[in-house]
Amino acid sequence: MGHKFSRFWARKFKRRLREVEDDPAEVEGNQADVKDNQAGAENDQPEVGAGPSNAGDREIDIRGRGKEDDIEYPGKPKQSELGGEGLWATFGARLFKPRKQSQNIGCIVVTRYDYPVKLFDTLGLWNVAIATRHYYNLPINRVHIRYENQDRLQRTVSHQDPPYAPVVRNLRGNSLLTARVFHLSCVPCVVIRQLRYLIEYRKRIGIHPPNVVWQPVHVRAAPEDPGDKEEASFKETLESYLAVLPLVGVFCLSYQELGDIVGGVGYPIASEEQDVRKSVETLAETFPRSGIGIVGDGVLIVCCEPFGYYYRQGKDQGWVKAYSQYSNRKTIVDFTGGGSAFLGAFTVALRDGINLRDSCLRGAVAASFAMEQFGLPIVS
């Protein structure tokens, strides 16, 4: 089954990647940027992929929520679709690895008493490394997603159960602890706590602190572990995000999250591409000034489906179109999972030494597979 996954998705991925790399309008509009990226790729690479020689063979470990989504879409309601930041990011990363290297991608899975059997069937097909923890007294995290209209640009998301996420303590004694890159999907206070655990556990086995890719979860915080006694009442503020950014190598969030964090909850969301780009570039100025990464050379990614993806590292910034803009195909049915799939593929590409812009191109292609159907993609 793993071989079938590799052949099927590798063909689709390569075909779409050729389309975005060969797009005449994009090449003409970004020719100077591409040359600069190619000329300085070696010097411009962020430290997200740099790992010590004793860090083991695992390249990326993904911690994020797995859940079931009920999607209320005009005329096409969907129920019990597998989703969650962790599963979508794992899929995006897996697209980039042939079967012989797929075990270099690790995923922590926290299951509840009513978890769907198809979850492990899907992960088995992907052939990635898995660490599991089971809670027998908790129901699966079910999320209700409601699209307001046919253009799918406005939606509301509500959690029916507390969104408990995997924790670093789940990795004690597991080879995933030696990964070179960790993807964390959580609120700011949890990032700090998990980094403290990571540094402590890795120090015990002689491994340097990890490189971290952070995808914030912009919801009222819940304890990341049902065993924790800490109150789930963390109040998110812009200052809380800025305090965490020097500790991570990549910070990736959506346009709506960017607006809520910098502009305040309820920040108006633009619906025209030029307005979106102008708004994102203005709001994003807040983060480079505060510094991302230990020496300020980290990467900011803003996912603005269906208008593309904004990237910035120091003074290097730009946009990559969404795949639907390259192909002129109106095939987007659900934006759920697009940003996480983008980040999974982007992280693996960057880890493999691909320059920033081309890593974003690969992320855009991975995101297209997430947005062209409901639920996780399967081989058909």
| Omega cis (within 30) before 226 | no
pLDDT tens digits, 272-291: 889 999 999 999 998 877 78
Low-confidence ranges of the chain (pLDDT < 70): 1-83, 112-117, 136-166, 218-236, 265-266, 325-330, 378-380
* Domains of the chain (ranges, CATH numbers): 2-371 (3.40.1190.20)
Q: Residue 128: what pLDDT?
A: 86
SS (H, E, C) the chain: CHHHHHHHHHHHHHHHHHHHHCCHHHHHHCHHHHHHHHHCHHHHCCHHHCCCCCCCCCCEEEECCCEEEEEECCCCCEEEEEECHHHHHHHHHHCCCCHHHHHHEEEEEEECCCCCCHHHHHHHHHCCEEEEEECCCCCCCEEEEEECCCCCCCEEEEECCCCCCCCHHHHCCCHHHHCCEEEECCCHHHHHHHHHHHHHHHHHCCCCCCEEEECCCCCCCCCCCCCCCCCCCCCCCHHHHHHHHHHCCEEEEEHHHHHHHHHCCCCCCCCCHHHHHHHHHHHHCHHHHHCCCCCCCCEEEEECCCCCEEEEECCEEEEECCHHHHHCCCCCCCCCCHHHHHHHHHHHHHHCCCCHHHHHHHHHHHHHHHHCCCCCCCCC
| Tokens coding 13 | 């991925």
Q: Residue 266: what pLDDT?
A: 67
Handedness of CA 125, 371, 354, 185 (dihedral sign): negative
Residues 333, 373 contacting (CB under 8 angstroms): yes
Spatial distance between the Cα atoms of 125 and 380, rounded to a whole number of angstroms: 13
Spatial distance between the Cα atoms of 20 and 244, rounded to a whole number of angstroms: 34
Spatial distance between the Cα atoms of 268 and 311, rounded to a whole number of angstroms: 21
Residues 47, 121 contacting (CB under 8 angstroms): no
* Residues with Cβ within 8 Å of residue 325, at least 6 apart in sequence: 306, 307, 308
Q: Residue 360: what pLDDT?
A: 96
Record the pTM.
0.75
Spatial distance between the Cα atoms of 340 and 317, rounded to a whole number of angstroms: 21
- Could you tell me which of 175, 165, 141 has the C-alpha nearest to residue 214? 165
Q: Residue 268: what pLDDT?
A: 77
Largest Cα–Cα distance of the chain, in whole Å? Answer: 57
Residues 376, 122 contacting (CB under 8 angstroms): yes
Q: Residue 47: what pLDDT?
A: 35
Residues 297, 313 contacting (CB under 8 angstroms): yes
Give the strand pairing for 67-72 and 78-83. Answer: antiparallel
Q: Residue 290: what pLDDT?
A: 78
What residue has token string 């989703």? 83
